[in-house]
Amino acid sequence: MNSLGKRIWRGVGPVLFFSGLAIWLYTATIWDTYLHTLPRVADSRLGRIYPRNIHGIVVFQTHAEERRLDGTMFTGFALALLGGGIGTLVERRSRRSSTGKGRWAS
């Protein structure tokens, strides 16, 4: 990999990681909003039939609200994991190439 490619990947990893972390932390605000605004009794007329246990308190949400929270959590976690993986691989490769010894070198 050339030096431009290394610099790009060295920047992509942390950006993905911290973006994912920020998105994942944003889910805490969604949880808090749901805890304080959603009803604690199911209402099938409004479609609030999906229970969510938030720190021992059960609130009922619609399918769209459930998808929003689950999707946001999954996206943040996946981006952070991807960014961390890229960062680990880039660092491992840069350490190996800086010592002059590749995987198969003796």
Question: Considering the domain boundaries, does residue 68 fall inside one?
Answer: yes
pLDDT of amino acid 91: 82
Question: Considering the domain boundaries, does residue 10 fall inside one?
Answer: no
Question: Considering the domain boundaries, does residue 91 fall inside one?
Answer: yes
C-beta neighbour count of 101 within 10 angstroms: 11
Which residue segment(s) compose the domain that 38 sits in? 19-97
C-beta neighbour count of 15 within 10 angstroms: 13
- Considering its fold, how many domains does the chain have in total? 1
Q: What is the C-alpha to C-alpha distance for residues 33 and 15, in angstroms, rounded to an integer?
A: 27
How does pLDDT run along the chain (106 residues), one tens digit per residue? Answer: 677 777 888 899 999 999 999 999 999 999 999 999 999 999 999 999 999 999 999 999 999 999 999 999 999 999 999 999 998 988 887 776 665 555 555 4
Question: Considering the domain boundaries, does residue 104 fall inside one?
Answer: no
DSSP states of 83-96 as a string?
HHHHHHHHHHHHHH
Which residue has tokens 């995987």?
Answer: 103
Question: Considering the domain boundaries, does residue 38 fall inside one?
Answer: yes
Task: Collapse the DSSP code of 59 into the 3-class scheme (helix H, G, I; strand E, B; otherwise coil) and give the result.
Answer: strand
Question: Considering the domain boundaries, does residue 86 fall inside one?
Answer: yes
Question: Considering the domain boundaries, does residue 49 fall inside one?
Answer: yes
